[in-house]
């Protein structure tokens, strides 16, 4: 009888460990994909700036007067510096998302936590600094103040703990506490990607490309094959950029849905199987964006 009792107990514990391992793996996968996504939206500005720069060089080369030529080249540099300030205003949002994802990775680790890990010493202060920087620049929307310190306290609860009952509670608390923050981050990233300014800048490059090359071709008769190839390449890159922006908008919507699904699983209102579709949809979008980045980097 005692042997049978022990066997039942072992089977029960084994099933609990299996469930915990499944939850841990699910959280870690989400954290990695969320962290990967955090670096993607800003690539729109990087690509847009590169397109504008090459297009501007061709426009500058349509002037034979060296003074005017140099003036146009100087304008390219100044415009790039000015435009780099635009994504800088929203950059804290991407960094906060990255930090939150790093915390999730640490909490879902199957190794004991290291109290000396740099994450614990800097997490709260860094997130609070980023939140403060964004809130100062934001016209209306504000990220929740104090959330960095709150999440840091929760992270520290897991110090030197394995993913046992205690660590699971800490993980659940961390995700639940971040609900408002993640929602706000998704809203702000969505605004950035959908902004009239960004749409207009892409449209301006599309129009400006034809105008710049028209000036250049009028002065360089016959135009070189290289210049014609550059024109075609830039046209393709602009079209790919338009698609990338749309895909990123879809991905950030699915990020919010996936995080809510993760909360439901940790709060045990849904099973891992029931939230799989929401998570996989977000993962697929991130993977698609990475493939699109590879296409952007081909420059041809």
Domain residue ranges of the chain, discontinuous segments joined by + = 39-238
Q: Residues of 219-255 as b/e, b for ≥16 C-beta within 10 angstroms?
A: eeeeeeeebeebbeebeebbebbeebbebbbebbbbb
The whole-model pTM stands at: 0.83
Dmax over Cα atoms in the chain, in whole Å? 100
Three-state SS at 298? helix
Work out the mean pLDDT of the chain and round it to a whole number: 83
Cβ-contact 107, 166 below 8 angstroms: no
- Residue 95's pLDDT is what? 92
Give the position of tokens 């084994």.
Answer: 14
Three-state SS at 300? coil
Q: How far apart are CA 191 and CA 188, in angstroms?
A: 5
- Residue 224's pLDDT is what? 87
Residue 36: alpha-carbon gap to chain centroid: 6
For 204-222, write each residue's pLDDT tens digit.
Answer: 999 999 999 999 999 887 8
Q: What is the pLDDT confidence band of residue 227, given thresholds at 50, 70 and 90?
A: very high
State the number of CA atoms in the 13 A half-sphere of 50 facing the CB.
17
The region of weakest confidence among 93-107, 124-138, 185-199, 259-273 is 124-138
Q: Residues of 155-189 as b/e, b for ≥16 C-beta within 10 angstroms?
A: bebbeebebeeebbebbbbbbeebeebbebbbebb
The region of weakest confidence among 29-38, 102-111, 197-206, 287-296 is 102-111
- Residue 158's pLDDT is what? 58
- Residue 11's pLDDT is what? 40
């Amino acid at each position: 009888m005692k042997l049978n009792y022990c066997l039942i107990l072992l089977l029960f514990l084994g099933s609990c460990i299996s469930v915990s391992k499944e939850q841990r793996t699910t959280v870690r996968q989400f954290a990695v994909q969320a962290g990967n996504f955090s670096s993607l939206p800003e690539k729109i500005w990087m690509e847009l700036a590169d397109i504008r720069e090459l297009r501007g060089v061709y426009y500058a080369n349509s002037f034979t007067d060296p003074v005017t030529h140099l003036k146009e080249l100087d304008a390219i540099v100044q415009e790039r510096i000015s435009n780099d300030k635009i994504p800088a205003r929203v950059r804290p949002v991407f960094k906060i998302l990255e930090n939150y994802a790093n915390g999730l990775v640490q909490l879902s680790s199957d190794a004991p936590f290291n109290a000396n890990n740099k994450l614990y010493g800097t997490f709260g202060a860094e997130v609070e600094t980023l939140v403060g920087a964004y809130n100062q620049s934001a016209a209306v929307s504000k990220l929740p103040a104090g959330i960095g310190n709150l999440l840091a306290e929760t992270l520290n609860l897991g110090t030197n703990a394995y993913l046992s009952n205690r660590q699971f509670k800490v993980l659940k608390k961390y995700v639940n506490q971040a609900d408002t923050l993640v929602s706000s981050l998704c809203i702000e990233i969505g605004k950035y990607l959908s902004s009239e300014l960004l749409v207009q800048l892409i449209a301006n490059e599309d129009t400006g490309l034809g105008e710049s090359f028209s000036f250049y071709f009028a002065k360089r008769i016959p135009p070189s094959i290289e210049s014609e190839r550059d024109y075609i390449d830039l046209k393709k890159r602009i079209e790919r950029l338009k698609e990338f922006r749309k895909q990123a908008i879809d991905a950030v919507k699915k990020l919010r849905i996936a995080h809510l699904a993760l909360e439901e699983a940790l709060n045990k209102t849904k099973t891992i199987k029931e939230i799989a579709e929401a998570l996989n949809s977000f993962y697929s979008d991130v993977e698609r964006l990475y493939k699109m980045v590879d296409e952007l980097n081909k420059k041809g």
